[in-house]
Amino acid sequence: MVVATLFLVYTFLGPYMPEIIAHKGNSLSEVVNHHWITTEGVFGIALLGTILFTRLEAVLAPNIADLGLTPAQQETITATAGHGQLDVGALGLNPEQAAAVGRAFGEAFLSGFRFALVVAGLALLVAALIANRFIPGRDAAFVRAPGELPVAVEA
């Protein structure tokens, strides 16, 4: 927490730092954009990958438990699926088992992918609401063309 706070302070106070570590500094909107809205920030590749991998393991293991595989085969399938690839031909499975493992892998991957998308969408929604509410200078302005008169609208 302390390290994160130091780096966040460094983001704002870059112009006031010694020349060797100085930078132009960032505004609040740039910091919010970088840390929350883009994939480089808090909800970036690392967290979404972790969510995807965790869901993959949690859903895949129960799906392959009742296929009649040995514990060593189950561990191998779970370990290789964690790397995003699954070569069922190299595991010595019969065609029915190979097809079932392939389906289980696809279902587990999509389950994790859906959950990661929901988390990312919620993070972007919260970031947009925060940016809309707390970043100043974003007032809407109504501009009329010269000579244009207001028009009454009937309900």
Mean pLDDT value of segment 33-44: 70
Long-range contacts of 25-28 (CB under 8 A, 24+ apart): 28/134, 28/135
| pTM of the full structure | 0.50
Q: Is it the case that residue 99 has pLDDT exceeding 70?
A: yes
Question: 25 or 149, which is more confident?
Answer: 25
